[in-house]
Amino acid sequence: MRAAHTLARKGRMAAMARGSSGDGTGDEGGSGPCAAARPTATRAVDYAVRATAADGGILALAASSARLCEEARRRHDAWPTAAAALGRVLTGAALLALPLKDGGSVTLRVRGDGPLGGVLATAEASGAVRGYPVHPHVDLPVRADGKLDVGGAVGRFGLLTLTRDLGLRQPYSGSAPLVSGEIADDLTHYLARSEQVPSLVALGVLVGTGGRVRAAGGLVVQILPGASDDTAAEIENNVARMGAVSRCIAAGASPEDLVCEALGRFGPRFLQRSELRFHCPCGRRRTRAALAALPRQELRAMREEDGGAELVCHFCGRRYRFAADELAALEGREQREEHPDVGRSAGAGAAY
């Protein structure tokens, strides 16, 4: 009987998630109590919160991430549907990284058979998040309900892979097939199937008529062992009444508001608040090291045929240009590493 109850609970949570990935464009109407609130400007700082309830039987994570998602959209010149998909993955990764200890990170990769090709995001426990879509110039017609067709862009057939790096020898990685390409219910399915944690995931990105991200955020509620089926059902009903997360945030709701609305009478105990930001650790030194790892023949070809090299960071779009003389220096260094006695004289201390 216990297994049957667990499966039933997972099924309800997954069904709830399918209605919780809210994106839209322009100034379309919404539903639920959040939609009736007066719209406010984008928050000055993106942040996420972590809370528990029901004597630790419920874990809730929520985030407001509009600035993070807009910065990613701008860097990759992502078109509306691609921007919505990217924002959902960035926010989902940020939420799952929140409970990790310092130095930990989460990488969320979604690969489907749609025109987007895939989306990847890495979030660190510190709140630094980065990511990219494989094909950013994707914008599909909106769905009949006015929401952006993220599932059509990602594709219905593919794989979601989640990697947690806890600072141990080997990161933990798991994967599950996509169920819709809408990200939130794919992540719900993964958590229930691969990590055996019944969860509710709601992710949303509101894209304005000019293509900019107006609001974005997410909510994850996990029902931990010991909680009753009635608890899960009550939380699902609470979230259903809220409407789309992106609409709630556009109307002025904070991450704390999202948690309180979702948990209702299960009064949350807030344990953590962390700022979120788009940050990529790439730099000229790292890029030079990547070039230096190439075979000498490739470096010579870039120098002689192209007059130099330009490397573009997938995560942030920064471009790094290396002149022909810099490539020649890297060739020479590689040659010295392969043959450490080259260029030395006996008088310079070489041992024979």
d(CA 319, CA 309): 10
Q: Say whether pLDDT at 261 is over 70.
A: yes
Instruction: Kindly state whether residues 270 and 140 are assigned to the same domain.
Output: yes
Instruction: Kindly state whether residues 199 and 151 are assigned to the same domain.
Output: yes
Residue keyed to tokens 């009478």:
265
**pLDDT at residue number 347:** 31
Instruction: Kindly state whether residues 155 and 243 are assigned to the same domain.
Output: yes
Q: Say whether pLDDT at 348 is over 60.
A: no
Within a domain: residue 36? no
Instruction: Kindly state whether residues 123 and 159 are assigned to the same domain.
Output: yes
d(CA 39, CA 60): 25
For the beta carbon of residue 133, count every other beta carbon within 10 angstroms.
28
Instruction: Kindly state whether residues 274 and 288 are assigned to the same domain.
Output: no
Instruction: Kindly state whether residues 148 and 234 are assigned to the same domain.
Output: yes
Paired residues of 119 in beta bridges:
110, 133
Mean pLDDT value across residues 195-221: 94
**pLDDT at residue number 39:** 43
Phi, psi of 286, deg, nearest 5: -65, -40
Bigger pLDDT: 347 vs 318: 318
pLDDT tens for 293-335 read: 999 899 999 999 999 999 999 999 999 999 999 999 998 765 4
pLDDT tens for 10-33 read: 444 444 443 345 566 643 334 455
pLDDT band at 144 (very low <50, low <70, confident <90, very high): very high
Within a domain: residue 194? yes
Q: What is the pTM of this model?
A: 0.84
For the beta carbon of residue 57, count every other beta carbon within 10 angstroms.
16
